[in-house]
């Protein structure tokens, strides 16, 4: 029997989710149809109800991750990760008809950091950015990645302070520091800001980056490099773009819907080749 799935967003044309899920389906021998759905502002709940009449579930990309959180709150249950992140990127219809809302961004990032053998356990982490992606990965980095501590820096410092305050009673050691006054050493550096999208670098001194074991930019490109990864490499820090996280968060959704975690490395190689030929 065919499973109907989709990704909701606006814009949506650029989404690689159908390519990834169709490849997962092929390697896991699962019969599915995965569509892209352009949702209009204010139209999320209706689009979701309509799709779930026959759909098994769907993914959510910008700008609807908060609408999806509210939808799952109203219609069913939210995972702990979704509550901590304040966002939902995966909706699944449960057997009893209720809706389950989860986020696999943090899970996906940690899976990818493990694939890359980035040393997260007991690590001091610098997190750059305080938007939706940054907030969505913090709790997984501690619970699944085993971080020791995290300092958040953001272009707008107050937002970093707000995110750190949100985690104040979580038991995680999260603090905020202004970018231009940041000092000290970090084991790993994660850029969860959109700086690379705008071809700019965060306003952080090179001394802070030097000596880190590795760095990761959530942004990805078909060339497998961003302005941030190239800058960090020039300072002697191993650096990776975020395409592996994109595949791994999709694998997390696939696991929720089908109960199987597909091969991430193989799919990533396929996707790199697909992008180079696109």
- Rounded to 5 degrees, φ, ψ at 128 are -100, 125
Question: C-alpha dihedral over 11, 13, 19, 22, to 10 degrees?
Answer: 80
CB neighbourhood size of 141 (10 A): 23
Report helix, strand or coil for 175. Answer: strand
Which stretches of 160-200 are assigned E, i.e. beta strand?
174-176, 188-191
Q: Is residue 220 involved in binding ligand NDP (CB under 6 A)?
A: yes
Give the x/- contact pattern for ligand NDP in 234-263, rule: CB under 6 A.
Answer: --------x--xx--x--------------
For position 116 contacting ligand NDP by CB under 6 A, the verdict is no
For 158, phi and psi rounded to 5 degrees?
A: -55, -35
Catalytic residue among 36, 41, 65, 73: 65
Which of 104, 120, 193, 267 is in the footprint of ligand NDP by CB under 6 A? 193
**In this chain, which residue has its C-beta nearest to ligand NDP?**
131
Give the total of residues touching ligand NDP (CB under 6 A): 26
121 touches ligand NDP by CB under 6 A: no
Closer CB to ligand NDP, 75 or 229, in the complex = 229
65 noted as active-site residue: yes
Helix or strand or coil: residue 46?
helix
Smallest CA-to-CA distance from 189 within 167, 169, 204, 200 is with 204
Q: Which residues bind ligand NDP (CB under 6 A)?
A: 105, 129-134, 154-156, 159, 192-195, 197-198, 200, 202, 218-220, 242, 245-246, 249
Catalytic positions: 65
């Amino acid at each position: 029997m065919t499973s109907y799935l989709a990704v909701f967003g606006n814009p949506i044309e650029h989404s690689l989710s159908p390519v990834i899920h169709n490849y997962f389906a092929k390697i896991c021998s699962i019969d599915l149809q995965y569509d892209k759905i352009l949702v209009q502002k204010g139209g999320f709940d209706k689009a979701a109800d309509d799709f779930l009449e026959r759909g098994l579930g769907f993914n959510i990309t910008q700008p609807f991750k908060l609408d999806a959180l509210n939808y799952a709150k109203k219609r069913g249950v939210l995972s702990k990760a979704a509550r901590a992140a304040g966002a939902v990127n995966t909706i699944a219809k449960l057997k009893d008809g209720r809706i389950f809302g989860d986020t696999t961004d943090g899970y996906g990032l940690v899976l990818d950091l493990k694939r890359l053998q980035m040393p997260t356990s007991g690590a001091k982490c610098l997190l750059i950015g305080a938007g939706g992606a940054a907030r969505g990965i913090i709790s997984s980095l501690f619970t699944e990645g085993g971080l020791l501590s995290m300092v958040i820096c953001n272009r707008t410092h107050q937002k970093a302070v707000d995110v750190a305050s949100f985690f104040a009673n979580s038991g995680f050691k999260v603090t905020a520091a202004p970018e231009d006054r940041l000092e000290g050493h970090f084991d790993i550096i994660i850029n969860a800001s959109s700086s690379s999208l705008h071809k700019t670098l965060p306003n952080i001194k090179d001394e802070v980056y030097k000596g880190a074991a590795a760095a990761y930019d959530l942004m990805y490109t078909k060339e497998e490099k961003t302005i941030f990864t190239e800058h960090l490499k020039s300072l002697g820090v191993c650096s990776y773009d975020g395409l592996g996280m994109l595949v791994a968060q999709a694998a997390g959704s696939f696991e929720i819907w089908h109960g199987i975690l597909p091969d991430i490395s193989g799919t990533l190689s396929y996707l790199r080749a697909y992008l180079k030929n696109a």
